[in-house]
Structure 1
């Protein structure tokens, strides 16, 4: 499937029913468009099964709670909607996007209690998020923007508003010929990429930033479990910028990114080593099992 995302054939689930792709629209005075009152999930289906689907639906509910925006559908209803979309479009392998938002209603200021919470599920066929970087290693810029303090925004929600600095960071990275950007948090610790968590390898052990100011990704949790089953020590901790020079390998994790090796971050280089390749290949087998 190609072309603009608003001009395609297919079906999208919206507010309880399947509608034609081009008819899945909202009003210009939708609250989320003006105030970012929106949460979402990104998921992948492999061989007709959405990987960790229920965990994603549960996190959507939690994100809604954190934004004072209760999702009006049960976990079971969300699960059915996702699979209805896959079936309606005839896809076994696809990216699935569930989004919930405050719609248009009686409120059009900051407050939105009088406006309905709406939900939609769309899906599309999507290849490797970083293209051929999955083989040779992605090149990352270092963003000037930092992940915010938990005192400023509910950082553990998968909320649309949290991604604006990610968009700007990725634009700046692409302008330099990079695939993505690595971000520090508000304290100056290594945090994550714009849409993926990050891992490092040194002396056979794995180090990954402590998710106390950014989203603890479902793929991240899966990969940590895979490493621990192999008996590999995983350190979840605060990582200082100067430590980047001493790491030997690096990879990103995320639903879209899956497991993507990193070859360079700024002036620091990493090998696409055996452990990185093993985890990437093992993750691919796991999600298709």
Structure 2
């Protein structure tokens, strides 16, 4: 499948029905378009099975609750709908996007409690999120924006509005020839990239920022567990920017990113070493098992 995302063959599940891809539209006065009342999940299917599918559906419900709305479909119904989408589109290895939002209704100000909540699920073939960087190591910029305080936003929701600074930061990074951008948080600590969590290696041990002001990704959690199974010490802690110089290896994790090695962050270089390669290979085996 190729071309613009609004002009493709296929079927998208919308509010309980399969809809032709090109007809899967919403009204211009949809509340989510104006006020970001939208949450989503990005998932990958391998050999016809969505990895951690139910956890993604559960998190979608959690995120909606953080934005003060309820999805009118149960986790079981969402699970069934995702499989229906894969089958309808003849996909086995695919990226799956579930999105829930407040639609157009009686309210068109900030408040929107009277507006209906919708759910849609689409799936398409999607290769390596960072292209060939997955094999040779991504080049990462350092974003000018910072991850905000948990007192200002629902930091543990996967909500569309939280990605505004991700888009602008990734655009700036790509303009410099980079694959992504690394955020610091509001305290100045190393946080995450625009759509992926980050890990570092030093002296055979792994260090990753504590997920207290950003999304604790499901892939991140999976990789932490894999490292512990391999008896590799994992430090989930505060990481200062000046520590970047001391790390030997680095990689990113995310449903889209999977496990992608990093070769450079700003002026700091990293090797694609044995721990990085081993985790990437083990993750690939796990998701296809």
What's the TM-score, normalizing by structure 2? 1.00
Q: Which residue of the partner structure matches residue 107 of structure 1?
A: 107
Tell me, what secondary structure is at the counterpart of 2:139? strand
- How far does residue 69 in structure 1 lie from its aligned partner after superposition? 1.1
Q: Which residue of the partner structure matches residue 208 of structure 1?
A: 208
- How far does residue 12 in structure 1 lie from its aligned partner after superposition? 0.1
Matched, 1:67 2:67: yes
Matched, 1:23 2:23: yes
Deviations 1:200-245 (A, max 9, x none): 0000000000000000000000000000000010000010000000
Deviations 1:127-164 (A, max 9, x none): 00000001100000000000111000100000000001
- How far does residue 180 in structure 1 lie from its aligned partner after superposition? 0.4
Tell me, what secondary structure is at the counterpart of 2:86? helix
Q: Which residue of the partner structure matches residue 123 of structure 2?
A: 123
Q: Which residue of the partner structure matches residue 156 of structure 1?
A: 156
The 5 Å alignment of 1:72-111 reads: 72-111=72-111
- How far does residue 23 in structure 1 lie from its aligned partner after superposition? 0.6
Q: Distance in 1 between matches of 2:38 and 2:135?
A: 34
- How far does residue 278 in structure 1 lie from its aligned partner after superposition? 0.4
The 5 Å alignment of 1:243-282 reads: 243-282=243-282
Tell me, what secondary structure is at the counterpart of 1:140? strand
Tell me, what secondary structure is at the counterpart of 1:262? strand
- How far does residue 121 in structure 1 lie from its aligned partner after superposition? 0.1
Q: Distance in 1 between matches of 2:268 and 2:64?
A: 38
- How far does residue 197 in structure 1 lie from its aligned partner after superposition? 0.1
Aligned residues: 289
- How far does residue 89 in structure 1 lie from its aligned partner after superposition? 0.3
Q: Which residue of the partner structure matches residue 168 of structure 1?
A: 168
- How far does residue 71 in structure 1 lie from its aligned partner after superposition? 1.0
Q: What runs of 5+ residues in structure 1 fail to find an aligned partner?
A: none
Q: Distance in 2 between matches of 1:98 and 1:186?
A: 30
Matched, 1:221 2:216: no
Q: Distance in 2 between matches of 1:271 and 1:71?
A: 44
Q: Distance in 2 between matches of 1:175 and 1:245?
A: 24
Q: Distance in 1 between matches of 2:45 and 2:219?
A: 14
Tell me, what secondary structure is at the counterpart of 2:157? coil
